[in-house]
Structure 1
Amino acid sequence: MIRRLAGAAMVAVALATAGCGGAGQSDNDQPTVSLTDVPEIATWSSVGGVRVPIGKTDGPSNGSWEPFQGFTHTPQGAALAAITQSVQLASATDTDWPKILGTVAAPGEGRDTYAAHRALVSISGLDPEAVPEIVGYTITDYTDDAANVDVVQRFSDQSLAAAHNRVVWIGDDWHLELPAGDATTITALDELPSDLVSLEGTRK
């Protein structure tokens, strides 16, 4: 289990949908958002051996050979950014990580700390036995400026964990806000959360 969590922590970037998109209209024409609407997924793409969901309209709008960008300003866009960007950064090669980090991560102490630590190690890829399956996510907090997203993962031994990610809206896109200190980035789960937004039915 410890080895599984170590792999999950990497995917959480702890180095040390079309139809709905969450938007709607209320009776007074004020925009509303839903934290539990499932983003419509166009496909699942392998990134460093981890399959991640690619939204039909909520993003990312580019391919996995580029730093993931182009997410809608919705809870669904925030969730897909948290999932895809964290996996892409955690699995980046020694030559690719600086470009990916500079694009997907928000400026700040967390990004600087990550860069300093990442430069000291060489990563050739994730341990195949520790590669998780993305089950879904829960959004524990959401505003127009930031979102906390717990990405729920299942491992080959059927153990579960939640990777805690935070994304912030800068300019016209979501970016990972990397932890600067010793924040907990992975938590073991005994069961699936009751408020899980499941993505398992979207795999193609």
Structure 2
Amino acid sequence: MFGTQRERDPVGGPFYKERGWISAALFLGFFLVMSLVAFVSDPKGVDLAETSREILTGLDGPLSPGDPQGVRGGPGGRPEDCATDDGDGTPPSAAPEDVEWRKLVAIMVPVSPSAGPLHTDATMWWCFAHTPTGAALAAHIIPVQLSGVSWRLVAQQQVVPGAPRDTFVAGKAESGTAVSEDSAVGRFVGFSVASYSGDLATVRLLVTDPMGGYLSTSVSVRWRDGDWKVALRDDGSLYSSVERQATTEGFTLWGA
């Protein structure tokens, strides 16, 4: 998901330096990663929306059972088999007590039986609580899934549609980049819900930096169709530019 960057690119600098796809590959890899963005290109003569539609409608096989695209007959327009405790809108000061760690693509990610994802199908993990904690978990998990072999389904179902998604999908398809299960990666350390309105959240992610200290970046998610979906940046990027963090101050630690 978050890709590596050449050493000449400084942390905190512009998150695009070269034409073409900079993989949305795991920035927690053991190579210093500087840019966590998708695809930047000259769109002249290219209908990105049409390209995106062709890619996303060309999925192989049916959607996952109980997929979010299916009938939403539950409370709040959620799928009938997706029910979470959505009562608390307060940003968390601690990780969920029931947090567990599971491998997804090439990295261990936090999951919670109470905050999500409640469904961890072979192709997609979904159904997050409509809470700041649910938003934080979605911000960790959905981008990781966009590095796996089922990224087209994830982009279709778990990314907010629009021009940024068209750019992301077209660039991802062109690159053909996917993170291997054998990739060497670091780990998530903590998070911070920078903003939360109920329908939109921005989550800061904290990961280990192999050069010492930590790296942080931000992901935005939007509540849509009964679940959290990634809201890409205007240029199709998943993440903000990366910043170095000397300490974990200001972050809620996962404790693992």
What does residue 79 of structure 1 align with?
136
Could you tell me how far 1:100 is from its partner in structure 2? 1.3
Query: Structure 1: which 5+ runs fail to align?
Result: 25-31
Secondary structure of the corresponding residue to residue 174 of structure 2: coil
What does residue 11 of structure 1 align with?
26
Q: Distance in 1 between matches of 2:247 and 2:116?
A: 25
Could you tell me how far 1:35 is from its partner in structure 2? 3.6
Worse-superposed segment, 173-182 or 45-54 = 173-182
Aligned match of 1:98 in 135, 143, 152? 152
Q: Distance in 2 between matches of 1:177 and 1:150?
A: 14
Q: Is the 8 A contact 1:58 1:77 kept in 2?
A: yes
- C-alpha change, 1:137 and 1:8, in structure 2 (3 Å) is farther
Worse-superposed segment, 120-129 or 149-158 = 120-129
Cα displacement string for residues 137-192 of structure 1 (whole angstroms, at most 9, x for unaligned residues): 11111111100001111144434211210000012111001112276623131323
Worse-superposed segment, 112-121 or 40-49 = 40-49
What does residue 127 of structure 2 align with?
70
Secondary structure of the corresponding residue to residue 38 of structure 1: coil
TM-score by length of 1: 0.78
Matches within 5 A, 1:162-181: 162-181=216-235
- C-alpha change, 1:98 and 1:180, in structure 2 (3 Å) is same
Q: Is the 8 A contact 2:91 2:193 kept in 1?
A: no
**Identity across matched positions, percent:** 24
Secondary structure of the corresponding residue to residue 116 of structure 1: helix
Aligned positions, number: 186
Q: Is the 8 A contact 1:22 1:34 kept in 2?
A: no
Structure ranking higher in strand proportion: 1
Structure ranking higher in helix proportion: 1
**Residue 51 (structure 1) aligned with residue 66 (structure 2):** no
Q: Distance in 1 between matches of 2:236 and 2:153?
A: 24
- C-alpha change, 1:194 and 1:77, in structure 2 (3 Å) is same
Instruction: Return the letter of the residue paired with 2:148.
Output: A
TM-score by length of 2: 0.63
Secondary structure of the corresponding residue to residue 85 of structure 1: helix
What does residue 75 of structure 2 align with?
none
Secondary structure of the corresponding residue to residue 98 of structure 1: helix
Instruction: Return the letter of the residue paired with 1:135.
Output: V
Query: Structure 2: which 5+ runs fail to align?
Result: 16-21, 28-35, 40-84
